[in-house]
Amino acid sequence: MGAVGAKLLKKLGLENIQDLLFYLPFRYDDFSSLSKISDLKVGQIVNIRGEVQLIQNKRSFKKRLNITEALINDESDSIKIIWFNQPFIVKNIKTGDIISLAGRVSESQEQLTMSSPQYEKVYSNELIHTQGLIPNYHLTEGLTQKQLRYFIKQTIHLAGVVEEWLPAKTIKTFELLNLKDALKQIHFPKNLIEAEAAKKRLAFSELFLRQLKSQMIKKELSEQKALTIKFQEKATREFVASLPFQLTSDQKKTAWEILKDIEKSRPMSRLIEGDVGSGKTIVAVMAMLNVALNKKRSALMAPTEILAEQHFRSLSNLFKGLDISIELITGSKKNKEIGKSDILIGTHALIQKGANFQNLALAIVDEQHRFGVNQRQKILDFNKKDNFVPHFLSLTATPIPRSLALAIYGDLELSIIKEMPIGRKKIITKLVKESERKKAYNFIRQQIKTGRQAFVICPLIEDSDQLETKSVKAEYEKLSTEIFPDLKIGLLHGKMKSVDKEIVMKNFLEKKIDILVSTSVIEVGVDIQNASVMVIEGAERFGLAQLHQFRGRVGRSEHQSYCLLFPSQEEIGSEKTIDRLKVMEKYSDGFALAKIDLKLRGAGEIYGDTQSGFPELQIASLFDYELIKKSADEAAEIIKEDTSLKEHPLLKIKLGEWEKLIHLE
């Protein structure tokens, strides 16, 4: 593959053959049936095969484009093909060649065409890019689907030497494919049935490893002790009375469960599940208050710096006047300065920096679905010196029902906050056509005139931070010079320095900014009560679960809030895209959305729920309750009899590898 290829693969974390074999596709293009050119209709995604009648490059000076035009003919009819800015194609494909093409049929000057289809010369019957179920992989800049597919095709025969690590009994009981066949079939399935079987095996293994790990943690915890925290009733009541709102009864119940748990010396392991905006933070704050009043310490970990800073600000505010010290630990602080306060707040830098965790009674993880199960292990080790483990509390908005949560978080107790704070209004969501853009801008201006603020999220550009930063800057330019020159516009993206991000968020919070243009860095947790409009550009690029998270950034107070979804221009004609986004208009419940998302993704899509949570789940789906339950039971059984996997050496090695793989980013 050459040095250049190797370098690109390395960017994807693929350093050896094994990595390549386990780099799974996220989707298949179904080009399994060959269409006749005479049968083609606009909008269809098809595979055709024919002879090249003519192929030539043209220049369009107006648009500064190179256009390659070809005429392809099968027995039924002929069709024009166009490629943009790929002049080298004429070197590969000549008149008289038989080629196979795959892509969408479109219309140009009242003629059917295919624009920039995948192409492949037909030498034999083995086509890997344009016929059958074609795997699509996540890429990095400079690497194409074709190249990556080719590399994997070249190595796939080596799947045979990858060692099977699932116990034979397990494979048999659950009628799973062996690893070798699963790998072959996930990359190059003959049909969807093969793809499904491969997916089932790989999903099972992934869930099974996760379950083994949680079972081992549970076992380890049952032998450990935690510091006991005496409930400070008077102070807690006073604190609650000082809040500008009344707790909901779910919040009260959850707080009570936690405060009872941490009174015991048995370490708590509890998950608070509540949809975006349900008010999980304040419950965690009540626990931290009690810990501090007991002269013990707590740590709060958040997935992004922006969120950690927000927690720091709001806790400092809530605990004003109390003798409680709070410290924000970011990536940029020096080690020796950190970790003396009653409450430590930070990103995973908290763990990496090796903060001082002496006397740590409670560890809280916010938006826990952004972290892996492995972070649990790290937290267990926080306080080894004292021979205590901290009580563990995690917060998530991943919307799954109780039975499922119990199965997948085998080692956690569950508190669910169902009830939203009173006075919240349903967020009005609207899909906005390009022709309504001006109207939408007027609407935003009106909202700002009445004192509200708005977010504008720029499209997700996968595989290129650079392009993403560029696009968010361009949007910022456009809004601040052309559309809203009279308003204060702010800019936020992941490439900014921490201090600069902090200043922007602070200014937004203090209403020094009217409209914040941002990338997805504000996806989770951000709490700006005064914001009432969430605009999402290129909305189709995000999953429904992500859109739901974004939408959850508004509607966090009594103000009526709005979410405006703008599809990218080129997607406006796609019914599938529009239908998917319309679902957002109709549903406001995260669980319903996640379920529909899965249905809409359809048979050709194979990614699990990395996006709606669970970083380790590359391929397993949260909605595959059966498989989750089976993997949980099987793992529990194995751990019951063989706690440290002495009798399952292969499994033990695999679990070790897996842990390394999923360690905190």
346, interface contact from Mg ion, ligand ADP, none, CB < 5-8 Å by kind? none
The residue count of the chain comes to 665
Per DSSP bridges, beta strands 515-518 and 489-492 are: parallel
Pairwise CA distance, residues 384 & 360, whole Å: 10
Say whether residue 85 binds ligand ADP (CB under 6 A). no
Report in angstroms how near the CB of residue 412 gets to ligand ADP at its nearest: 17
353, interface contact from Mg ion, ligand ADP, none, CB < 5-8 Å by kind? none
Decide whether 25 or 525 has the Cβ nearer to Mg ion: 525
Say whether residue 274 binds ligand ADP (CB under 6 A). yes
Lookup: tokens for 23: 């780099």
Pairwise CA distance, residues 327 & 339, whole Å: 7
Residue 362's beta-bridge partner residues? 298, 391
Report the residue closest to Mg ion, judged by CB: 525
Decide whether 267 or 421 has the Cβ nearer to ligand ADP: 421
Report in angstroms how near the CB of residue 76 gets to ligand ADP at its nearest: 57
Decide whether 188 or 392 has the Cβ nearer to Mg ion: 392
Say whether residue 281 binds ligand ADP (CB under 6 A). yes
Decide whether 281 or 375 has the Cβ nearer to ligand ADP: 281
Binder among 250, 527, 597, 609 for ligand ADP (CB under 6 A): 527
Please state, as a whole number, how many other Cβ atoms lie within 10 Å of the Cβ of residue 514: 22
The vertex-417 CA angle with 416 and 419, nearest 5°, equals: 140
Binder among 81, 148, 282, 288 for ligand ADP (CB under 6 A): 282
Helix (H) or strand (E) segment spanning residue 309: helix 305-318
Report in angstroms how near the CB of residue 505 gets to ligand ADP at its nearest: 14
Find all residues with CB under 8 Å of 435, minimum gap 6, and list them: none
- Residues of span 181-220 touching ligand ADP by CB under 6 A: none
Phi, psi of 337 (to 5 degrees): -85, -10
Alpha-carbon torsion, ordered 138, 141, 146, 152, to 10 deg = -60
Report in angstroms how near the CB of residue 366 gets to Mg ion at its nearest: 6
Decide whether 319 or 476 has the Cβ nearer to Mg ion: 319
Report in angstroms how near the CB of residue 397 gets to ligand ADP at its nearest: 6
CB 617 within 8 A of CB 205: no
- Candidate segments 154-162, 253-261, 273-281, 289-297, binder of ligand ADP by CB under 6 A: 273-281
- Candidate segments 29-37, 277-285, 347-355, 633-641, binder of ligand ADP by CB under 6 A: 277-285
Decide whether 232 or 396 has the Cβ nearer to Mg ion: 396
Say whether residue 374 binds ligand ADP (CB under 6 A). no
CB 12 within 8 A of CB 141: no
Report in angstroms how near the CB of residue 487 gets to ligand ADP at its nearest: 24
- Residues of span 522-551 touching Mg ion by CB under 5 A: 525
Pairwise CA distance, residues 121 & 129, whole Å: 10
**Amino acid letter, 537:** E
529, interface contact from ligand ADP, Mg ion, none, CB < 5-8 Å by kind? ligand ADP
Please state, as a whole number, how many other Cβ atoms lie within 10 Å of the Cβ of residue 448: 19
Report in angstroms how near the CB of residue 225 gets to ligand ADP at its nearest: 30
Decide whether 316 or 359 has the Cβ nearer to Mg ion: 316
Binder among 133, 176, 186, 276 for ligand ADP (CB under 6 A): 276
Decide whether 303 or 525 has the Cβ nearer to Mg ion: 525
Extended beta strands in 318-457, E state: 326-329, 343-346, 360-365, 391-396, 413-417, 428-431, 453-457
Decide whether 594 or 632 has the Cβ nearer to ligand ADP: 594
Report in angstroms how near the CB of residue 310 gets to ligand ADP at its nearest: 9
CB 427 within 8 A of CB 503: no
Lookup: tokens for 54: 């003519």
Say whether residue 278 binds ligand ADP (CB under 6 A). yes
Rg (the chain; Cα; Å)? 27
First to last CA, the chain: 28
Say whether residue 277 binds ligand ADP (CB under 6 A). yes
Pairwise CA distance, residues 595 & 435, whole Å: 31
Report in angstroms how near the CB of residue 508 gets to Mg ion at its nearest: 17
Find all residues with CB under 8 Å of 69, minimum gap 6, and list them: 54, 55, 56, 57, 58, 80, 81, 82
* Interface map 228-267 toward ligand ADP (x if CB under 6 A): -----------------xxxx--x----------------
Say whether residue 608 binds Mg ion (CB under 5 A). no
CB 392 within 8 A of CB 270: yes
- Residues of span 395-424 touching Mg ion by CB under 5 A: none
CA-wise closest residue to 648 among 161, 162, 214, 165: 165
Pairwise CA distance, residues 529 & 552, whole Å: 11
- Residues of span 340-369 touching Mg ion by CB under 5 A: none
Angle between helices 575-586 and 590-601 (to 10 degrees): 160
Report in angstroms how near the CB of residue 422 gets to ligand ADP at its nearest: 7
Report in angstroms how near the CB of residue 503 gets to ligand ADP at its nearest: 21
Q: Which residues lie near ligand ADP (CB under 6 A)? A: 245-248, 251, 274, 276-282, 397, 421, 527, 529, 556
Q: Which residues lie near Mg ion (CB under 5 A)? A: 525
